[in-house]
Amino acid sequence: MPHIRVRRAGRPGARRHTRRDLVVLCVLLGLPILLDLALIWGPTLASVGLSFTTWDGIGEIHWAGIDNYDHLFSGYPQFWPAVRHNLLWLLFLGAIATPFGLLLAVLIDRGVRFSRFYQSTLYMPVVLSLAVVGFIAQLMLSRDQGALNAVIGGRNPTDWLGDPDLNIWMVLLAACWRHTGYVMILYLAGLKSVDAGLKEAAAIDGASERQTFFRIVLPTLRPVNVIVGVITVIESLRAFDIVYAVNKGRNGLELLSVLVTDNIIGEASRIGFGSAIAVVLLLVSMGFIVTYLVQELRGEQKR
> E strands, 74-141, where?
none
**Per-residue pLDDT, 6:** 47
Mean pLDDT value of segment 109-126: 79
Angstrom distance (rounded) from CA 110 to CA 237: 34
Residue 39, SS3? helix
- Residues 214-222: contacts with CB under 8 Å, at least 24 apart: 217/191, 220/190, 220/194, 220/195, 221/187, 221/190, 221/191, 221/194
Whether the per-residue pLDDT at 281 is higher than 80: the answer is yes
CATH numbers and ranges of domains, the chain: 79-253 (1.10.3720.10)
Q: For the segment 125-177, what is each residue's pLDDT rounded down to a tens digit?
A: 888 777 788 888 888 887 777 788 788 876 777 888 888 888 889 889 888 88
What is the distance between the alpha carbons of residues 45 and 29, in angstroms, rounded to a whole number?
22
**Distance from the Cα of residue 120 to its chain's centroid:** 22
